[in-house]
Amino acid sequence: MTTLTMTRLDPQSRAARRGMSDISIRNLFIIPTILFLIIFNIFPLLYSLYYSFTDFRASTNAPANWVGLANYRELLNDPFIWTNFTITAKYVIVSVAGQVVVGFGVAMLLNRDIPFKGLITTLLLLPMMLSMAVVGLFWKLLYDPSFGIINYVLGLGRFEWLSDPDMALYAVAITDIWMWSPFVMLLSLAGLSAVPKHLYEAAAIDRAGPLYTFFRITLPLVAPILMIAIIFRTMEAFKTFDIAYIMTSQPTTEMIAIRLYKMAFQEWQTGMSCAFAYIVLIMVVAITNIYVKYLNKVKER
Amino acid sequence: MAGISLRGITKTYGGTRALRGLDLDIEDGEFFVLLGQTGAGKTTTLRLIAGLEKPTGGEIFIDGENVAEWNAAERDVALVLQQYSLYPRLTVRGNLEFPLKSKVRNLSQDEIDRRVNKAAETLQITKLLDRKVERLSGGEMQRVSIGRAIVREPRVFLMDEPLSALDAKLREALRVELKKLHTELKATFLFVTHDQVEAMSMGDKIGVLNRGKLVQVGTPTEVYHNPCNTFVARAVGSPPMNLFDGRVAGGQMEIGSVRLPVGANGEALDGRDLTVGVRPENIRLESGAPVSARVFDIEDHGVVKILTMQLDDERIYATVPAKTRVRLDETVQFGWQPDKTLLFDRQSGANISAL
């Protein structure tokens, strides 16, 4: 199917004079990358797969004993782990839905001729460029019950956003929405500006109402790129660790990544946490696959 | 069904003036073609009538009513754009139904089906009704665009170069179909084009637009045989009219070293700087004719041959019967009948043949 075509090295070039062939140049570029990938990605992946079947603890010198599927069996039977998953699912849904609504909405607002459009867009993108830890820390200050500006502005008195077990997860989700809506906005904006103007004009002449135009023209054309934004954000939200870990330590905000961290580096159950990580990996891959299938369907139509 | 009137329409975009005091009257049921070069303001005129843009000055009347405050939807006009603006992800039927589904219309599904089927039949796209628009060819897409205009049974059809993106064969076919459609629907058509062949073959009336001003309005015959100035003379007709600069002396036209007879009233124009216009088909090749020129190019169109001849610095076009024998670089002699020429004032370009 594919024929191997490589540009021949110019015999006059400096590389050729040094006795290098085009194959050796190709290798020079590719081998370091492959080595890097093997050392830092593939090897740990396989190594942890092995550990997930053992009772290895990184804190002791005891040799790893093969326990078979015991880790997996135990994890999947643990009701606390399922609570972690439920919390994560709730967080993913709230946070991603919020980001899509806010991001797409702002993109719709920006997708017209307004003064300082470029400047506004750039400023709106700032949250996305901050460090997660910084965002977590200063939102913690904003949420502060005694001097936080949020309670002051909303007039909520001493409402405890982050210590309230029912509210803490949503408080973290709001922070995440604030931080990542710009990402959805950016992609939506790209999608929106690709919708040909004459379609809107045709719709205006055809007496289509604004809602009808939105659902019939705007949304179908932006859907594929919006789906990509959703895939990215879902994967990220699933793995959320830093923001939640920094902002609050409520049991109701203990998402799988936090549970995993505690299991691996506080309880030192290395083998068990490897198995846990694999379960999470399989879930993320599965969810992403569903999205990608759907994305392809959207594109095909 | 309705007539359209534009009164003193001006439109400026930033610093550029697209339209400068445009007056235009289109009668009810007329097929009016607006002809002009790129940037003449054709599309702007159309968009103003459609209500997609507001004029900077002047008034627009549709069916005698001032529509200044009406938006595109309220004007009830149909617009076919140059780009196939089909709604994506819908079938052909979905596209045709689109304008009818609007709540303002409140049509029953039976009525919608009836109109869609009728339009599809007229445009011969019945077989395509359930196909997704992404899978259509260019010609089919443009048919669907036109179909979407037809189903609405609008008062006015506006068409912005709908055929220019199609290949030549399809263009001819759709040209005929549009004419037929116009006869059947008896609606007012305003058709914008830069292609004078389209204008000549389709229009009941042609309006020639130049830099935001209407230069001449008339039937294709009027515009062709009696252009009001040199601009129209150049714009209409293919190959274009030959224009020679010269001066009248003693009832004869002096063009360079050549002297040619002018029309009957030649004496009255003595001493004036004029431009003579001769249609290519009125140029006769004859041995012993007053002008000699070298044949520069021959286009054989089957029925006729179009010769391009070089006379000093000028190119002269002549349409001659196909059986005429000429060779490239041959020197031929030609002339024309004085009564088939048009005279234009050299300064203003205005047609003064009628004087």
By CA distance, what is B94's nearest residue in A?
Answer: A216
B102/A206 Cβ within 8 A: yes
Interface mutation target, options A113, A200, A205, A297, chain B, most CBs of B under 10 Å: A205
Chain A positions touching B85 (Cβ under 8 A) are: 196, 198-199, 201-202
B132/A201 Cβ within 8 A: no
CB nearest to B87's CB, from A199, A204, A205:
A199
Summarize pLDDT for B213-241 with one digit per residue, the tens. 889 999 999 999 889 988 998 888 888 88
User: What pLDDT, on the 0 to 100 scale, is given for residue A7?
Assistant: 61
* C-alpha to C-alpha distance for B308 and B299, rounded to whole angstroms: 8
Chain B positions touching A199 (Cβ under 8 A) are: 85, 87-88
Q: Which residue has the higher pLDDT, A219 or B101?
A: A219
pLDDT, mean over chain B = 85
Summarize pLDDT for B5-39 with one digit per residue, the tens. 998 888 888 888 888 888 889 999 899 999 988 88
Average pLDDT (A212-236) is 90
By CA distance, what is B88's nearest residue in A?
Answer: A217
Sign of the torsion angle spanned by Cα atoms B270, B274, B280, B284: positive
Give the pLDDT band of residue A1 (cuts 50, 70, 90).
very low
Q: Which residue has the higher pLDDT, B47 or B355?
A: B47
**Least confident among B44-53, B219-228, B242-251, B266-275:** B266-275
With an 8 Å Cβ cutoff, is B90 touching chain A? yes
Query: CA triplet B192, B198, B202: central angle to 5 degrees?
Result: 85
A217/B87 Cβ within 8 A: yes
With an 8 Å Cβ cutoff, is B54 touching chain A? no
Residue A247 has pLDDT above 80, yes or no: yes
By CA distance, what is A201's nearest residue in B?
Answer: B52
Residue A126 has pLDDT above 70, yes or no: yes
Number of CB pairs, chain A paired with chain B, less than 8 A apart: 61
Q: Which residue has the higher pLDDT, A178 or A248?
A: A178
Residue B178 has pLDDT above 50, yes or no: yes
Chain B positions touching A203 (Cβ under 8 A) are: 87, 98
User: What pLDDT, on the 0 to 100 scale, is given for residue A129?
Assistant: 93
- Following DSSP, what letter does each residue of A251-293 receive, concatenated? GGG--HHHHHHHHHHTS--HHHHHHHHHHHHHHHHHHHHHHHH
With an 8 Å Cβ cutoff, is A207 touching chain B? yes
Per residue, the 3-state secondary structure of B97-136, as one string, reads: HHHHHCCCCCCCHHHHHHHHHHHHHHHCCHHHCCCEHHHC
User: Per the structure block, which two tokens stand in for A66?
Assistant: 């093969």
CB nearest to A198's CB, from B81, B89, B104:
B81
Question: Whose CA is closest to B144, among B156, B132, B154, B157?
Answer: B132
A207/B90 Cβ within 8 A: no
Q: Which residues face B299 on adjacent strands?
A: B306
Interface mutation target, options B87, B97, B159, chain A, most CBs of A under 10 Å: B87
Give the pLDDT band of residue A178 (cuts 50, 70, 90).
very high
Residue A301 has pLDDT above 70, yes or no: no
Instruction: Please name the residues in contact with B138: beta carbons below 8 A apart, sequence gap of 6 or more.
Output: B84, B165, B166, B167, B170
Chain B positions touching A218 (Cβ under 8 A) are: none
**Domains, chain A:** 14-51 (no CATH), 72-300 (1.10.3720.10)
A201/B79 Cβ within 8 A: yes
User: What pLDDT, on the 0 to 100 scale, is given for residue B2?
Assistant: 79
CB nearest to A204's CB, from B72, B98, B105:
B72
Whether B50 contacts B72, CB under 8 Å: yes
Q: Are strands B242-249 and B252-255 parallel, antiparallel or unpaired?
A: antiparallel
Could you tell me how far CA B331 lies from the centroid of its own chain?
A: 35
B85/A196 Cβ within 8 A: yes
CB atoms within 10 A of CB A257: 19
Chain B positions touching A222 (Cβ under 8 A) are: none
CB atoms within 10 A of CB B265: 13
Q: How far does B83 lie from chain A, in Å, by closest CA?
A: 8
Q: Which residue has the higher pLDDT, B345 or A126?
A: A126
Chain B positions touching A301 (Cβ under 8 A) are: 89, 132
By CA distance, what is B145's nearest residue in A?
Answer: A202
Residue A188 has pLDDT above 90, yes or no: yes
CB nearest to B85's CB, from A199, A208, A216:
A199
Q: How far does B326 lie from chain A, in Å, by closest CA?
A: 50
Give the pLDDT band of residue A10 (cuts 50, 70, 90).
confident
Residue A5 has pLDDT above 80, yes or no: no
Chain B positions touching A204 (Cβ under 8 A) are: 52, 71-73
A212/B79 Cβ within 8 A: no
Beta strands in chain B (DSSP E): 4-13, 16-26, 31-36, 57-62, 65-66, 77-80, 156-160, 188-193, 205-210, 213-218, 242-249, 252-255, 258-261, 273-278, 283-285, 291-300, 304-311, 314-321, 331-336, 341-345
Q: How far does A295 lie from chain B, in Å, by closest CA?
A: 14
User: What pLDDT, on the 0 to 100 scale, is given for residue B217?
Assistant: 92
Chain A positions touching B78 (Cβ under 8 A) are: 205
Chain A positions touching B77 (Cβ under 8 A) are: 205
Query: In the Cβ-directed half-sphere of A292, how many Cα atoms lie within 13 Å?
Result: 8
Residue A4 has pLDDT above 60, yes or no: no
User: What pLDDT, on the 0 to 100 scale, is given for residue B238?
Assistant: 82
Cα dist. B105→A200, A216, A219, B74, B99 in Å? 19, 18, 24, 11, 9
**Domains, chain B:** 4-235 (3.40.50.300), 242-345 (2.40.50.140)
